[in-house]
Homo-oligomer: A and B are copies of this chain.
Amino acid sequence: MTERREEKLLNVLRHRQSDLTVVMEEIHDPHNVSAILRSADAVGVLEVQLIYVKNKFPKIGKKSSASAMKWVTRRPFTSVESCYHRLRSEGFAIYTTHLGQGSKSLYELDLTKNVALVFGNEHEGVSEEARRLADGNFQIPMSGMIASLNVSVACAVSLYEAFRQRMALGRATLLDDEKLGKLFDEWKRK
């Protein structure tokens, strides 16, 4: 482990946003899953939540993007309820992405603190249960002929809006020293 590598790890850990997370509900295409993990790493998401009941979490190919699997922790849940319960105990507000009435625009949301964004299966979208139990629903504005975006694209656009808002605020380190030190030890062994 070179000094430069250690610095890189520390620098990335210092930018990890423990109060921004993604919930992946039944997203099955490995291209999508791997692009989502890569975007999550890029904006500093520390952990993502997985709800896979109907589908298995897909196998990720051994391409470069697979390495995002190393740097973004995945927490599996067996139901929407248990996932949301855990997130709420940690202070997260939970927003689903679903085209429908009463949705806010992505750009109206305050994404600068404690926010979990739920993205659903490619064909069925976010489940009715996940929508019903959430704190709100948002959509990404669109002005084209096609009614939806690719799910990994929707996730990236949302995460980067959070990142943009957080950069504008000049957000500081979020992990406390103990947690950062623990993760640093883990990451050095990867």
* A35 proximity list for chain B (CB < 8 A): 150, 152-153
Other-chain contact of A39, B41, B149, B160 (Cβ < 8 Å): B149
Once A152-B153, A153-B153 are accepted as A-B contacts, the answer to whether A143 and B107 lie under 8 Å apart by CB is no
Complex Cα distance A3/B189, Å?
63
Closest B residue to A72 using CB positions: B144
* A172 proximity list for chain B (CB < 8 A): none
**Docked-complex contact B107 and A153, CB < 8 angstroms:** no
The answer, yes or no, to whether A27 is at the interface (CB within 8 Å) is no
**Docked-complex contact B163 and A141, CB < 8 angstroms:** yes
**Docked-complex contact B38 and A150, CB < 8 angstroms:** yes
**Docked-complex contact B65 and A144, CB < 8 angstroms:** no
The answer, yes or no, to whether A1 is at the interface (CB within 8 Å) is no
Once A140-B160, A141-B163, A144-B71 are accepted as A-B contacts, the answer to whether A42 and B12 lie under 8 Å apart by CB is no
* A149 proximity list for chain B (CB < 8 A): 38-39, 42, 156
Complex Cα distance A107/B148, Å?
25
Count of identical protomers in the assembly: 2
A-B contact pairs, 14 of them (CB 8 A): A15-B143, A35-B150, A38-B153, A39-B149, A41-B146, A42-B142, A42-B143, A43-B144, A68-B144, A68-B145, A107-B167, A153-B156, A160-B160, A160-B161
- Count contacts on A: residues with CB < 8 A to the other chain: 39
Complex Cα distance A164/B107, Å?
8
The answer, yes or no, to whether A89 is at the interface (CB within 8 Å) is no
Complex Cα distance A71/B164, Å?
30
Complex Cα distance A178/B42, Å?
44
The answer, yes or no, to whether A70 is at the interface (CB within 8 Å) is yes
The answer, yes or no, to whether A103 is at the interface (CB within 8 Å) is no
The answer, yes or no, to whether A67 is at the interface (CB within 8 Å) is yes
Complex Cα distance A149/B145, Å?
26
